[in-house]
Chains A and B, each alone.
Chain A
């Protein structure tokens, strides 16, 4: 045995540092024995081998010991935490409730935002899908005409495009009838989405020559209406009285998120030559979806699309006045409007969560103060500070875990309720669920909140001065420092609450402004029904005119007979309010060169229109229903634009492309037919009488129950003949208006709920701190009461303390809201992000709530009995 055959000194020292000497020595012996035993092969580098083996064993021993120590610490901490949690059930329950509410709110919000805003669309390379639409200075125009579609389809190198629209239709097979939603799309539609039927060939090039139109049906329709008929492909069905052939069944669950919520059937649409040529005017009724080709970027596609569109617009200046093309990613276009307020709600929830955490931190700090004796004893018995922190943190993590579980449960129970109350038309709303992603986020949130609200109390409470604790005989003493921390937490909490209440005020204020905006007409009592009139083919204009006149009169008469209806009118050439679609004509201002013209939204109406829609007549008169009248009524906007200061009545208005001028006989109020948040649409009204157009909108005014009137309207087509039919379903404008304002109503409701929640949590926090303050200062107050201070004075002084903190917090909150309010500006309407009234109201509300919360414990200050206080000391 030579000396160099021993375990090298360094390895030996390390091993002995980790393990007790006898154990380390036994291991060294094992290694030396192995090295010398005949069984082992002779080793080339005995010293190196010994060192390596000893180091590996050192590492293993170290890992083992640390694991054991850690698991023991966790076990002990959990045991302690459970004991403490049970020992002060009120604090624990309060903390759990506050955090659970926060986590529930955050979980629900996150699951909604995650599904709607954050996830990818369910299409192959969905990040390549784009939407092409238009806009003018007045706002976005989602629909384009067939001419633009054809130009883009034929000319674009950077993108492939498809056009689509949808409508309701009646499907018939034998005696079975069903109202279905059909998506009417150009043949490239499914290819652009990279989707294909699960059954059948779908649409193909050969369809162009087929005598029977091909359609593709949804899986749900196939199963529900056709009983999963395996021979469906190739069979014919009757759609709107027309025979079509089923050439495909889409895969189950296939949806087109930008379209209607349910699609039963896909139908091919090929624009007619007339539609392409713009010879009959520009009728915009199509939506465009596209896919970027190859590696082309959105920017490249946008500039190509803009160039193509500019060429088209230059060739038809009169029809494209003020129109610009707009290219967006599909996802942005789908969630564009929703994204902003969803993220705002998410931030608001995060703020509520922070307020809740600060609140619970304060609660735990109070409990930590009560436990200083317990902690002091543990410290005196040799517990290190980190062990105290660990055990205090474990307490808060335990609370957070319980709260997280409860919060997720509450979220799961309320999610359906929340998704049901979401405004209609939010893409993918039906897919919102609590899934793995959401669960992971919720659990991470719980853990983070546990750390957030636990860390400060843990570090503060573990700061135990054993000597002074023992001197004071074990009575809990609360240092100035801890009180300062609690006050700072209170001020922070108040500041957060103010920020949230201000945001709530801005959002709710915007909603109020939207509701109060004057639309220029009164949608509330109106029901509308679009009526189509098929004109007899090959008939003379006189015969057609007669047929139209009969249809109009009949619709008016029958609608007037509906009980509760107080007025009926017709309009044509545009859409009913809150729906899209318009006819633009070009007015040439008097004395202006022929090239300059003003685009005017034009509507052909009966003279009753203004009474029925409650559009005030400002000057002049309403036209007669004389079919030959060559007169027009303008709104104030366009009248001023055309004729300036001069009296517009009896002036002549020239329209580009129309030889005969129109005489202005009346001026009416300007309207916002697209809703309160859209600009005024300058509009001219022509008498519907002479207009040779088949379809029209039947408008009825039923002050009490427009919904009942709408139902009665839906009954009318059953009695009609002569090519008259109802298109889609009657609409109730009040419902349309509600739908239009649904996002605002929803976000205002959510923000109001969160604001109230924040106020309640904040009030609870103020109550808690003031209670503690009063308890701690009982002795001082007793002395002062003995020296003659009145009860009222003691209460007043306590309230003044609270008021100072409230004001400080409010000041910080106002400054913060002032600084960050700008991010909300795109979501606001009619209020600025720094609206002083809303700030003042928010601060006033907070002061009132805060002072009430402080007053309850402050009353106790006035009731301090000096005799009892002084006797107990």
Chain B
């Protein structure tokens, strides 16, 4: 990389105070920062809450050499706020955005244990890159993202060891001007825990969360059932 290259992380999750998307994205830009990149992070839901924030987001993307999208999978695709951002960004670039080469990377995580649920969302990101004039550097897909639950990855060893290795490899390759290596893609797709354990723990978690609201016996309610 040349001096003063920059990486912009856009977080596509609206979860507060922290999200798995943010855990993954933070780790990657920290590694890029250690390699000399100037890094910045923006939360899409916050940026799009005002005209000023929206303009600031577009201006920040103009300055970034690498744009990193980190988001959760919503209904087999990107959350609507992220799609809205990409629509706006594509329009901005086609109307005369920067002409220098810029790269795009995506990190997506889903609540199902299998990482391949994210494939369609990554195809949409790849297609966005093509239409908006970014160099597509590949994507990383994580299954069972709820297991990380917004915790910093540095505190998730050994559970997140493959995730960490994957992001380390991605940072190294991106710094050298390359795309995300296949090895990193495979490591990220490795299950964090066995599928049976993930679904068992997931069911328990739904029940516990529902119990807090006193509705643990109503999880299968049908409020819109025709009378």
**A associates with B:** no
Chain B contact residues, CB within 8 Å of chain A? none
Q: A interface vs B, CB < 8 Å?
A: none
